[in-house]
Amino acid sequence: MKLTQRFSAALALAFTFGITGEHARAETLADTLVHAYQHSGLLDQNRALLRAADEDVAQAVAATLPVINWSMTTTATVPRAPGVDLISANARISGELVFFDNGVGQFAIDAQKELVLSTRQTLRNIEQQVLLNAINAYMAVRRDSEFVALRRNNVQLITQELRAARDRFEVGEVTRTDVSLAEARLASARSLLAAAEGSLARSVEEYRASVGRGPSALEPVSPAPLTRGLAEAKAFALRNHPNMLEIQHSVKAAEINILRAEAAMGMTGRLTGQIGVDQDINMGRQFGITLSGPIYNGGRLSSLVRQFMARRDAARAGLHITRHNLEQGVANAYSFLEVARASRQASEQQVRASTVAFRGIREEATLGARTTLDVLNAEQELLDAQANLISAQADEVAASYSLLSAMGLLTAQHLKLPVQQYDPAAYYNLVKDAPTITSDQGTALDRVLRAIGD
């Protein structure tokens, strides 16, 4: 066996064990998407970021609730003055409640809620990216697997043609040129087979990176069902795509922050109180009301208002940009799908015609009416047609799911994946009222966080 043949055989064996060794049964696209959804580090990362945003709401709520602290102080006086204890001690409990802040606290809560809703849409968009990457990786492995099979079959066919050319050369039916042509085509076919096997190996690694494990034997996939035309798809994306909803909530948060900055220029009212006891068990109580407000702050508060206005304007401009990007994305995806569909249909016709032509020319060659070059050219045309069909089929499937993603529909919920879907509101509902660590909600949160950590 020649070196090239041994190398091809080794790659084929490695690929067989790499793909089928981990999973014995055939794998569907749904299996791949389920595993990608359940084992994506990117999803886990953004879920944690969403929980962090939920805590911002809890902290904003906490700023409007009473604050109670304790303190203990021990003091030694050296030298001791007459009638004064060498060591004095006292303990104190103090509390404060903002009972009026011109709306600053509530504006802060409302702004953080909008940012939570925005972060939820970011997570939803990340989910789309994870699933689309898995789909593209799935189709790449399927396409390259079929390319490898096609190239191997091509090597076998050309090997047969070379053997036939040598036999005919021995009896004087063809010249040495015909044999050399077949030998050159066989060398080229082996080179292309090695390149296809290399592409397959890369696709397998991309699949592993996107899904979290290697592929098994992947089942054929049909394009995603699509019922909306281009105009309807654009309108749907503008209403439902997570990028659009994310920027809309960001605009609302920016507008609320302007109100918050303006309210900070007003008056603040606080209730204060403390209870203390010294080393002689003498108890003291103190309660009061404090009203305060800015007189001169060096222009800082006015600058904050202007800054939040600029951020609102930037968010509104982002909304405009997002609208155009979504429309363009849907149009591009729709165009790619139409091109892939037309290419697949044309390639099917090309394969049928090339198959008939190849069989006819090969039969004519056995009768001496065609040369070895005619047969090799016909075989190459058939190979090209089959490769075009494989690519077009993979492109059509990928384009159909890309269109779903462009509309904001490439989610586990819409695809009806058999997974336990992540509920973005579950953690928020536990923390939105700023529970303490000793409360029932705090205990439930502790269990949730331990489960996430495990």
Q: Does the residue 179 lie in any domain? A: yes
Q: Is the pLDDT of residue 3 over 80?
A: no
Q: What is the pLDDT of residue 283?
A: 87
Q: Does the residue 238 lie in any domain? A: yes
What share of the chain has pLDDT > 90, as a percent?
Answer: 60
How does the average pLDDT of the chain come out, rounded?
Answer: 87
Q: Does the residue 103 lie in any domain? A: yes
**What is the distance, to the nearest Å, from the Cα of residue 35 to the centroid of all Cα atoms in its chain?**
13
Q: Does the residue 297 lie in any domain? A: yes
Overall number of domains in the chain:
1
What pLDDT, in 10s, does the model give residues 245-293?
999 999 999 999 999 999 999 999 999 999 998 877 888 899 999 999 9
Q: Which residues contact 14 (CB under 8 A, 6 or more apart)?
A: 201
Burial (CB count within 10 angstroms: exposed 0-12, middle 13-18, buried 19+), residue 408? buried
Q: Does the residue 134 lie in any domain? A: yes
Q: Does the residue 82 lie in any domain? A: no
Give residue 84's pLDDT band: very low, low, confident or very high (50, 70, 90): low
Dist CA 205 CA 89 (whole Å): 68
Q: Is the pLDDT of residue 337 over 50?
A: yes
Give residue 437's pLDDT band: very low, low, confident or very high (50, 70, 90): confident
Q: Does the residue 50 lie in any domain? A: yes
Q: How far is the CA of 218 from the CAs of 59, 146, 203, in angstroms?
A: 48, 11, 13
What pLDDT, in 10s, does the model give residues 197-224?
999 999 999 999 999 999 988 999 999 9
Q: Does the residue 443 lie in any domain? A: no
- Mean local confidence (pLDDT), 335-361: 90
Q: Is the pLDDT of residue 148 over 80?
A: yes
Give residue 1's pLDDT band: very low, low, confident or very high (50, 70, 90): very low
Name the residue range of residue 306's domain: 3-74+87-422
What share of the chain has pLDDT > 70, as a percent?
Answer: 91
What pLDDT, in 10s, does the model give residues 100-147?
999 999 999 999 999 999 999 999 999 999 999 999 999 999 999 999
Residue 30: HSE in the Cβ half-sphere, 13 Å Cα cutoff: 9
Of 24-38, 79-93, 312-326, where does the model show the most confidence? 312-326
Lowest mean pLDDT among 3-17, 232-246, 350-364: 3-17
CATH code for the domain of 363: 1.20.1600.10
Other Cβ atoms less than 10 A from the Cβ of 352: the count is 11
Q: Is the pLDDT of residue 4 over 50?
A: no
Q: Maximum distance among all alpha carbons in the chain?
A: 133
Predicted TM-score of the model (pTM): 0.84
Q: What is the pLDDT of residue 96?
A: 94
Q: What is the pLDDT of residue 8?
A: 39
